[in-house]
Every structure is written in structure tokens, then in C-alpha cells.
Amino acid sequence: MGCQCPHSAPPRRTALAPEPPRRATIHEVARLAGVSHQTVSRYFRHNGGLKPATREKIDAAVKELDYHPNLLARAMRTRRTNRLAVVLPSASYFPLRLLDGAALTVHEMGYQLELIGVEGGIETRSERVREIADSGQIEGILSLAPLTFDATAHNRVPILVTGDYDDRMRGMGQLADGSPVKEIIEYLAGLGHRTFLHVAGPQGYASARNRRLVYEETIEAMRLTSYGVIEGGWSAQYGYDAITSLPADSGVTAVVAANDLLAMGVVRGALSRGWMVPQDLSVFGWDDEEMGRFATPALSTVAVDREKQGRDAMLRLIAAVRGEPMPEVAESTLNQLIIRETTGAARRPAGR
């Protein structure tokens, strides 16, 4: 695997390797335009105040030489790298559209995005994030999975944990927005359901915690019954296990699952017990994954604008990096219930 020491010098280019092509420098542009290189520098930094004639000469020279400022040199001098990092969770479940939105936004804002993969659990990940934060190469970090330490307290560079509560933003992040759970329960209650089960996601995730919280609050506020909350991971097997180990007389007629995978496992588990979905058991998912839309029965779920979430997360990170106040994000317009085939009227109390 080669040397894993991040501080060691990279392997030398072998004889076969093509030499990196030479690029025009700011001096060459300056010479061609007949100005000093500082003037060219100003030109690129939008400092304005250049005489139109000067500007035109530089325009031409830049075009002719196909000059692009060397960002490395700039970064070295300004001590700002303009690089952000996003840390993947090691679990198989994570929102890919979110990455897309994040990457797009980062580039639009003039930054670059380093992708960090992490093997192992929260410990390894947290360790790695610390390293990156201390590397001096990255100006801000978005972690898509929980960390062991309090990110807001870290002082070297801003660290945002996806969906985690952040004191500086006075409220929940939208990734962590659990309020649709309330709508789900209200909808289900309207269908006659009285006894619920919540198959929660791993509580290290703010999103999972919030959904659980709202579940418990709503059940209580509406004077409904919760058979309980089952905690696990994000994967389908947990949903399957949750439902297959449910006592026959639990009275549960509706399950609120923390995501579609879990919901899918719940449906499969119910079917394996001979329960019909939704006749015997209603199941609600979260994420609007394409597979769930085409499953039979098709999953009732919560549509989520992942791309916007990625975008907003990055906008907030960038604000933090720049020392600007973090933008507030509108929570309410984001999530939307989609009723499909896994939810229906509660079966008669007579039972299965």
C-alpha cells in the first residue's frame, strides 16, 4: 500500500511519467501586456482602479497566453487554501445527492472540496477529522457522520456535523428536522391508528435523535400509545428484526421508520409473519428512495431535497469559514409526506 505517513514526501515521478506542462506565469503576462506583474495581480483580484487601456492590454495578454493564476502560489502567499472537506460515513447508508449539492455549491462559491473516506467507526473518524482540522490545508469540514467531540468547540477550523445541533444557529439544522414525524403520526391517527412503534435510526445522528424526539412528543401530545422505540442502525435488517421480534399481542398497527431502508425491512418482516401491509400494519419511511417507490407495496415516505441539504450545509460551512453569521435555513418547505401503499386504515381492534 505504500507509505501511509501523510508527511512523507510523495514518490518521485518515474522516468515514464510525463513532465507537468509549463504554464504561463504572471510575469509573462505582465511583460506581454507591458505592465508590471503587480498590476496583473490586481487585475485578477478585482481590485479595480485599472485604466481601461491597461485592462484591455492585460485582457489580450491573458487570452493569448491562456494564463490562469497559480492557485497554489496564491494560497501560499495568502495563507488561505480555499479548500473544504467532506467526510463520508463508513456505513453504506448516506445521501449521495447531498454530496452532489455540496460539491456544486462549494465550487460556485470559489472553494474546492476534498473527499475524505473513513474506515471504521466514530473513533477513527473523529481522529481523522482532528488531523485534517490541524493540517492547515483545509479551512472547514463537513462531517456526514457523528464525531466524538463537540465540533462547535473545536477551535482550529469550523467543523459542521451534518444535521447536528449547532448553538450558533439557534435551532435545528434542516437535515435534523424531525417535524414531518408529527405530520406522519397525525395522518396515521386520522386513519384510526392508536398504537405505534418507532424504528429509530442510530442515535449518534441528530436526524435520528430528532425524529425520535418528535415521535415521542407527538405520541404524548396526541394521547396515543407507543409500544416503544427500537434503536438500531440505518439498514433494513434492523427494521426486519424489529418487527419479527414484536410480540403478537403488541397491538401495534402502525410503524414510523427512520428511513426507507428500515421501512422496507419492516414491511418484509411483517409479510414474513403473514401480516398484510397495510391491512394489518401501516409503515411509513423517510427519504423517498427510488426503490421504495417501485416496491410492492410502494413505501409511504417523506420526500427530501437532498441536493438542497448539501447546498445549505455548505453555505453554512462557508459562512463559518469566512466568519460571517450562518444563514438560517427554512425548514418547513423541505420535507413533504408522500402517501403510497404501505399506509392505510387501521385494522379493526378484533386483531389479526
Interacting positions 283-312 with a second copy (CB under 8 A): 289-296, 298
Q: Is 232 left (phi over 0), alpha (psi -120 to 50) or beta?
A: beta
Using DSSP, state whether 143 is helix, strand or coil: strand
Which residues face 302 on adjacent strands?
A: 337
Which does residue 245 bind out of a second copy, DNA, none, counting CB within 5 to 8 angstroms by kind?
none
* Least CB distance to DNA at residue 159 (A): 23
Q: Which of residues 167-226 bind a second copy (CB under 8 A)?
A: none
Based on its alpha-carbon atoms, the radius of gyration of the chain, rounded to whole angstroms, reads 26
Q: Counting contacts by CB under 8 A, is residue 322 touching a second copy? A: yes
Which residues face 226 on adjacent strands?
A: 196
Cβ closer to DNA: 82 or 152?
82
Nearest by Cα to 334 from 172, 204, 220 = 172
299-300-301 Cα angle (round to 5) = 105
Cβ closer to DNA: 55 or 352?
55
Q: Counting contacts by CB under 8 A, is residue 94 touching a second copy? A: yes
Q: Counting contacts by CB under 8 A, is residue 11 touching a second copy? A: yes
Q: Counting contacts by CB under 7 A, is residue 212 touching DNA? A: no
Q: Which of residues 11-70 bind DNA (CB under 7 A)?
A: 22-27, 35-39, 41-42, 44-45, 49-51, 53-54, 67, 69-70
Task: Please work out the total of residues on this chain that contact DNA, with binding judged by CB under 7 A.
Answer: 30
* Least CB distance to a second copy at residue 231 (A): 19
Q: Counting contacts by CB under 8 A, is residue 74 touching a second copy? A: yes
Q: Counting contacts by CB under 8 A, is residue 103 touching a second copy? A: yes
Contact range with a second copy by CB under 8 A, out of 28-36, 85-93, 169-177, 244-252: 85-93
* Cα(225)–Cα(219) distance, integer angstroms: 6
* Least CB distance to DNA at residue 107 (A): 18
* Cα(111)–Cα(162) distance, integer angstroms: 19
* Cα(308)–Cα(105) distance, integer angstroms: 10
Which does residue 27 bind out of a second copy, DNA, none, counting CB within 5 to 8 angstroms by kind?
DNA
Cβ closer to a second copy: 176 or 321?
321
Contact range with a second copy by CB under 8 A, out of 28-36, 95-103, 146-154, 221-229: 95-103
* Least CB distance to DNA at residue 321 (A): 16
Which does residue 340 bind out of a second copy, DNA, none, counting CB within 5 to 8 angstroms by kind?
none
Provide the angle, in degrees to the nearest 10, between the axes of the packed helices 260-272 and 236-244. 40
* Least CB distance to a second copy at residue 350 (A): 26
Q: Counting contacts by CB under 8 A, is residue 115 touching a second copy? A: yes
Query: Per DSSP, which regions of the chain are E strands?
Result: 83-87, 112-116, 140-143, 159-161, 195-200, 225-231, 254-257, 282-284, 301-303, 336-338
Return the number of other C-beta atoms located less than 10 Å from residue 303's C-beta.
Answer: 14
Q: Is the peptide bond before 278 cis (omega within 30 degrees of 0)?
A: yes
Cβ closer to DNA: 76 or 96?
76
* Least CB distance to DNA at residue 78 (A): 5
Cα distances (Å, whole numbers) of residue 255 to 201, 246, 292, 350:
13, 12, 16, 19
Cβ closer to DNA: 53 or 153?
53
* Least CB distance to a second copy at residue 213 (A): 26
Task: Please work out the total of residues on this chain that contact a second copy, with binding judged by CB under 8 A.
Answer: 93
Cell 450562518 belongs to which residue? 326
- End-to-end alpha carbon distance in the chain: 58
| 177, 169 Cβ separation under 8 angstroms | no
Which residues face 185 on adjacent strands?
A: none
> Interface with DNA by CB under 7 A: which residues?
9, 22-27, 35-39, 41-42, 44-45, 49-51, 53-54, 67, 69-70, 73-74, 76-79
